Every structure is written in structure tokens, then in C-alpha cells.
Structure 1
Amino acid sequence: MGFEEFKNRNISEDYVVVQEDNYPKTSWDAFKQVVTRSVKGELFTGLKITFKMMTGALFNKEMATVQYPKEKLPIGPRYRAVHKLLVLLESGEERCIGCGLCEKICIANCIRMETRVDENSRKEVLEYTINMGRCIFCGYCAEVCPELAIVHGGRYENSSEQRAHFSLKEDILTPFDQLNQQTEFAGFGSVSPDADEKIKKTPLSY
């Protein structure tokens, strides 16, 4: 078999020729095609839905659009967003013991921690930063923390014009006046459901 015969050979007899559309050749044909496709009903069905939503928003106050940032949609309690450093409810002291496990397990290499030993021979966290520009929100740091000190909170608005804002310890530490809003997750060292009845504001033994 020659090369030309090889190229022009008929491999199968079962080919089906696909009929191509008759594309409009003139402007008048294009106009007729648009009119024909428009009066089939799909356009008016879409306009009906749009008009229904518009009248509901104008007269029945059934607004489908969320007026962000004044209005925000609720998010799940386990939503993994910007980190939070929790504190002890009894004393307000930080839960973080400076073990460094979150820094070691971070696969994005975005956590940095500086510690020192204080006068009571306890490790104290001096600096704790998370580079939110590198963080992939995998949750490994929260899973490995033995004291449940770091969790993922619900704050997802972390845009900034400066890289330096991503993110210091003071930015993610729970404020003292918002301890009653601190969400506790189940795990080792977490607060029991009846903690409000049991809790007493006593100083730590150390």
C-alpha cells in the first residue's frame, strides 16, 4: 500500500456524517435567526423569573441580595478561617505553653514563635506570628495543639494592603472583655458543657 492510499484508506464503514448548522450568510439571515431563537419562550421564561424577584424585593421586602458588609451570612461553628489564640476562662491567662508543635507541623511554613523562660521557670511566648499570605488553612496547627490554644475562628475578612498585617499575636489573641464569646471545641482540655455552674474565678497555683 502506498502512502497516499494509506492516508485515504477507509477504516470503517460505520461513520456518521454530522450535519453542520446553516450559519447565516447575510445580516438579514442573522436577524431572522435571533428573532426565531428569541420567540421560542426561553427568553420570556428568564424575564418572568427576573420580574418576579424584582417585584418581591420592591413590594414584599423579599431581598435576595445580602447588603454586605452591613449584613453577613451565618457561617458554621467549625468553619476554618483566621486563627484565634484562646485563653483560660478561669484566669484569663494564655493557653499557649510555647511547645512549638504548631510551628513544626505547619506545612506552609508560616508560623513563627519566640519564647523564653520567665522567673517562675515557665516558658513564656514573646512573639507569635502567622503569615496569612502563606497559610493554606489546613488546620494542622489546631489539631496538634495539646492545650487547645489555637483554633480557627470565624473571621474571614483578612485582606490588607500591607504584608506586615499578616498577622501578629495581638491580632489573633482573644480580648479579655470577650471571654464570654469564646467558642470552646470538644477535645482534651476543653470546657465541659456545665462549666458555668462549676467555674470559680481563682488564681492559678503557679
Structure 2
Amino acid sequence: MKIEDLKNRNIGQQNYITVQEDNYPKTNAEVFKQVVKRSLKGELFTGLKITFKIMKDALFKGQMHTVQYPAEKLPIGPRYRAVHKLLALLESGENRCIGCGLCEKICISNCIRMDTKIDENSRKEVLEYTINMGRCIFCGYCAEVCPELAIVHGSEYENASEQRAQFGLKEDFLTPLDKLHLQKEYEGFGSVSSDADEKIKKTPLQY
């Protein structure tokens, strides 16, 4: 095929087939006649047969394909990026966040705000940590860059609200102390890789 043929936009027009060009009904009588004709052919009853078969399986055989939300929910993959969670240390119950500010700096939607201070032990303490869910695009950069795995993406995706002020409270992200024993190490987006120990051994840093 030549380059001139490729530039020709009508190169394949001779292969087109026009379907029912002049067979559309033009009057109400012709429309009624077409409906009756198609019904007597069995097209309507063929579709109803499939519908009644699925309805019978759902009612009498328990093969219901509809998810009864919110009582029933479909499982979510481990790498799904939903509402953030701030994890705590299992030993002491303290927040894992060390206030480094990397998540705030890398956030491309500029929705993370952090306020810190130096405590009596000369350690950085996080006073306020908020994420504006109205601006967040759930890219996952904050979870990926966190050196302590303090912030991760959880599985809670029902974050609708009528007020913008309800889109960024730190208490909503923290793991409650009474449920700390139920916390599991995160295996989703931003988690430690399986060969993390080997990588740490190769680094010249002192821990």
C-alpha cells in the first residue's frame, strides 16, 4: 500500500455496508405492524425467557448476583488507596509519625498540613496533622515516602460529608488505643518490601 493510499480518508468506504437504509417505519401503523411482527417471531419471548430464568435462580436457588449494599460489600484489594490511616507503635501505643514532614512536602495536591514542636526530650512531637480529603487525589505518594510507615492507605472509602470541615481530623485517622491489639502490619500500598532487611544491611547508615 502506498503512502498516498494511507492519506486517503475514504480508502475503506467501498467495504462499508449500509443496514436498513430505507426500511424504517414512517407511520404509526407501520410501527405497530413491525412490533407485532417481531413479537410473533418470538424475539420478545426469547428475551423474557432469559429474564425469568435468572429471576428463578435468584429467588429459589439462592443465586443472587446483586450486592445488598451497605449490608454487603465487595472485597477490596490490598493495594486499594482509600482514606488514610495513621498507625501506632504496638509496644507503647504512641503514634509512629516522627514529624519529618516528607508527606507534606511531597503532596502534589497540597492537602497535608503538619504542626510540630520540640518536646522536653529534644524530640520532635506532632501537634496537629490534617489531610484535606476534599483536595486529596489519593495518589499514594505520602504513604510511599513515609520512612516509619506511619501513614498508609486503608480500606475505608465511604468518606462523603455535607461539611468541608469534616474532611480532615487527625482523630479520624489514628488507630484507637482500645483497638491497638487488632492492628496488623500493613501489606498494601506503601508497605515494606519482602527484601527490606537485606536492603537495610547494605546502607551505610547507623541505626
SS of alignment partner, residue 133 of structure 1: coil
Of all paired residues, the percent bearing the same amino acid is 75
Distance, in Å, in 1 between the alignment partners of 2:33 and 2:95 is 73
Deviation per CA, 1:129-180, whole angstroms, max 9, x where unpaired?
Answer: 1111111110000000000000000001000111111021100111112223
**Offset at 1:91?**
1.2
SS of alignment partner, residue 114 of structure 1: strand
TM-score by length of 1: 0.77
Where do 1:121-136 residues align within 5 Å? 121-136=122-137
Write the letter of the residue equivalent to 1:134: R
Where do 1:22-101 residues align within 5 Å? 22-101=23-102
Look at both structures and tell me which one has the larger radius of gyration over its CA atoms: 1
1:203 corresponds to: none
1:120 corresponds to: 121
Where do 1:147-166 residues align within 5 Å? 147-166=148-167
Distance, in Å, in 1 between the alignment partners of 2:109 and 2:39 is 52
CA RMSD of aligned residues (A): 2.5
**Offset at 1:41?**
4.7
Stretches of structure 2 lacking an aligned partner (at least 5 in a row): 1-9, 198-207
Stretches of structure 1 lacking an aligned partner (at least 5 in a row): 1-10, 193-206
Distance, in Å, in 2 between the alignment partners of 1:36 and 1:133 is 55
Distance, in Å, in 2 between the alignment partners of 1:17 and 1:55 is 41
Distance, in Å, in 1 between the alignment partners of 2:127 and 2:75 is 35
2:192 corresponds to: 187
Aligned in 2, Cα 1:116/1:17: closer, same or farther, shift over 3 Å? closer
1:7 corresponds to: none
Deviation per CA, 1:37-89, whole angstroms, max 9, x where unpaired?
Answer: 44555543432232122112222222222211111111112211000000111
User: Which structure has the highest helix share of the two?
Assistant: 2
Matched length: 178
TM-score by length of 2: 0.77
